[in-house]
Amino acid sequence: MKPVIGITCYAEPARFTVWETTAALLPWDYVRHVERAGGQPVILPPAGDPGELVGRLDGLIVAGGGDIDPGRYGSAQHPRTGYIRDFRDDAEFSLVKAALATRLPILGICRGLQVLNVALGGTLVQHLPDVCGTDRHSPAPGVYGRVPVRLSQPLQRLYGTGEITPAHYHHQAVDKLAPGLTTIARADDGTIEAVMLDETVWAVQWHPEADEEAPVFGSFVLRAGFRPAGRGR
């Protein structure tokens, strides 16, 4: 049986075919990469108590999205912090805490890294241009930036190189790293771009789903498939 990979999603106003309504939605590239890596993707909307679902999953991807309410890490809201969705924060923090408690494999992507960091007690830079003096991590609405990232192990082994230039679209990033997390990649301006808790929990700040080759998906689905205590095993 294919590993069942839950992927968190947005709940936003959307237009499709003849409809304009609020929709639970996710960029198809997430689904495509999980399927190509051999997993069975399942979209998890931010409703109810999705934390109760972790026993039915082999892995959890916490996807990109809007900003986390800064009150969750004890900060006042920056003028540029936006697209806060309290119901999504509630759902994803519930999911991540339940997944950590059961050692479910986790892959955080962009916002997903930030959720992981805050859930474990870390804080965020609310607007990166205030710190690094440039908007190249998120150059324009709907436009990815390409910023060089220096990799440490185990990402060096995974990518077969010490530096990549992936797609970025984030104006926030880790400030105080949560206890237990280890930095495994940084941008050339020092921004933390990937972290790990252990071999089962990784997160990247860039958007691997935006590129054709995304080895983090293959590695994650493989780990989920061999999880000793996985669903039905």
Q: What are residue 108's DSSP bridge partners?
A: 62, 203
Whether 120 is covered by a domain: the verdict is yes
Of the residues 9, 92, 110, 168, which is catalytic?
A: 110
* 110 tagged catalytic: yes
Residues 6 or more apart whose Cβ sits within 8 Å of residue 133: none
Active-site residue flag, 213: no
26, part of any domain: yes
Q: Residues 55-65: what's their mean pLDDT?
A: 97
Please name the helix (run of DSSP H) or strand (run of DSSP E) that holds residue 138, with its range, or none: none
Establish whether 209 is a catalytic residue: yes
Q: 218: part of which helix (H) or strand (E)?
A: helix 215-225
Establish if 230 belongs to a structural domain.
Answer: no
Closest to 8 (Cα-Cα) out of 142, 152, 101, 116? 116
Does residue 214 lie within any of the structural domains? yes
Q: Report if residue 175 sits inside a domain.
A: yes
Let me know if residue 231 belongs to a domain: no
Structural contact between residues 70 and 78, judged by C-beta atoms closer than 8 angstroms: yes
Which residue is catalytic, options 92, 137, 171, 209?
A: 209
What confidence score (pLDDT) does residue 226 get?
Answer: 82
Return the residue matching tokens 């050339």.
188
Q: Give me the domain span that covers residue 197.
A: 4-225
Per residue in 173-200, pLDDT (tens digit) is: 999 999 999 999 999 999 999 999 999 9
Task: Give the per-residue pLDDT at 21.
Answer: 98
Band (pLDDT 50/70/90 cuts) for residue 233 is: very low
CATH number of the domain within which 120 lies: 3.40.50.880
User: Above 80 in pLDDT, residue 6?
Assistant: yes
pLDDT in tens, 66-118: 999 999 999 999 999 999 999 999 999 999 999 999 999 999 999 999 999 99
Distance CA 232, CA 21 (A): 37
Whole-number mean pLDDT of the chain?
Answer: 96
**Domain count for the chain:** 1
Model confidence, pTM: 0.96
Does residue 233 lie within any of the structural domains? no
